[in-house]
């Protein structure tokens, strides 16, 4: 859906992105010419070129410098423009999400989890370890700690059935704010076994704190993705900048 006053090149880029995601344009297919896209979108050539540059920067199309653009092998990007669960994101890019719960336990919070959740060490919290799948393929490991009021609800939920976030929201838990840090780590022994990759394989890590609109922390997670299956994108303009900055490794970034 087009946002009010959204630049036309962003609207066109979103339309082209959707055509690739839904399989209308497949890997290796040529992108229509600039003239055809101008007619399709009722847009100027500059708008079309800006939209194509956006898709090229995301790795969705290849070519240029005299070569006609074609659909590239698409790494599925998760946008920070909206706050989405893994399940919602997978559906939005035409993939089938899945999950296998390896642990759901109530235990005393260690120093790291307690600090991120704003609790005293030793407070009883709920921790979840899940392997997340895309089309049945291991894609991400989810290590999540929940504050007691939110976590206790998970014992009445089949965590293999779908999105924990959607379930908690349905139970009235406010999960409206997120802070993230994105970095790279080497797969440890558990990562290697679950993701079926050699130990030391580079992984894309997202550490996340989720809180209510009033700032009450509900969740802290350390998620580790296979980078060839997923990445993250941030889109901004000079008029509307995303709140994303470089920061020391333990600082969290708002989006």
| CATH number belonging to domain 81-235 | 3.40.1410.10
Give the residue-averaged pLDDT of 209-218: 93
Instruction: Specify the CATH number for 8-71; select among 3.30.300.30, 1.10.10.10, 2.160.10.10, 2.60.40.1120.
Output: 1.10.10.10
Give the residue-averaged pLDDT of 235-252: 46
The tens digit of pLDDT for each residue in 133-173 reads 988 889 999 999 999 999 999 999 999 998 898 899 999 99
C-alpha 185/C-alpha 136 separation (Å) is: 24
Question: Whole-model pTM above 0.85?
Answer: no
Give the residue-averaged pLDDT of 22-28: 79
Q: Which pLDDT score is estimated for 249?
A: 38
Q: Do the domains spanning 8-71 and 81-235 agree at the CATH topology level?
A: no
Res. 58 pLDDT band, cuts 50 70 90: low
The tens digit of pLDDT for each residue in 61-91 reads 887 666 788 888 655 555 444 445 777 777 7
* pLDDT, mean over the chain: 82
- C-beta of residue 225 within 8 angstroms of C-beta of residue 203: yes
Q: Which pLDDT score is estimated for 84?
A: 58
Sequence-distant (6+) residues with CB within 8 A of 167 are 153, 154, 157
Res. 96 pLDDT band, cuts 50 70 90: confident
- C-beta of residue 253 within 8 angstroms of C-beta of residue 247: yes
Give the residue-averaged pLDDT of 180-209: 92
- C-beta of residue 222 within 8 angstroms of C-beta of residue 47: no
- Laid out side by side, the sheet with 124-134 consists of 97-108, 124-134, 137-146, 217-225, 202-211, 177-186, 253-254
Q: List the domain boundaries for the chain.
A: 8-71, 81-235
């Amino acid at each position: 859906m087009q946002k009010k006053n959204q630049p036309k090149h962003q609207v066109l880029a979103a339309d082209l992105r959707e055509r690739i995601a839904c399989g209308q344009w497949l890997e290796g297919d040529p992108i229509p010419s600039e003239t055809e896209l101008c007619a399709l979108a009722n847009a100027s050539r500059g708008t079309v070129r800006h939209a194509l540059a956006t898709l090229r920067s995301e790795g969705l199309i290849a070519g240029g410098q005299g070569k006609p653009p074609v659909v590239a092998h698409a790494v599925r990007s998760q946008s920070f423009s909206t706050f989405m669960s893994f399940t919602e994101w997978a559906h939005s890019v035409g993939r089938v999400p899945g999950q296998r719960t390896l642990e759901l336990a109530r235990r005393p919070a260690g120093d790291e989890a307690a600090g991120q959740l704003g609790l005293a060490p030793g407070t009883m919290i709920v921790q979840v370890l899940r392997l997340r799948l895309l089309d049945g393929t291991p894609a991400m490991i989810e290590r999540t700690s929940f504050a007691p009021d939110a976590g206790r609800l998970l014992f009445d939920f089949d965590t293999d059935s779908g999105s924990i976030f959607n379930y908690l929201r349905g139970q009235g838990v406010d999960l409206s704010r997120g802070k993230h840090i994105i970095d790279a780590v080497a797969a440890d022994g558990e990562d290697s076994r679950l993701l079926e990759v050699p130990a030391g394989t580079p992984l894309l890590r997202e550490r996340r704190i989720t809180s209510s609109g009033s700032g009450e922390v509900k969740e802290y997670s350390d998620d580790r993705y296979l980078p060839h299956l997923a990445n993250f994108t941030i889109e901004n303009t000079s008029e509307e900048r995303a709140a994303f900055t470089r920061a020391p490794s333990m600082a969290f970034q708002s989006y």
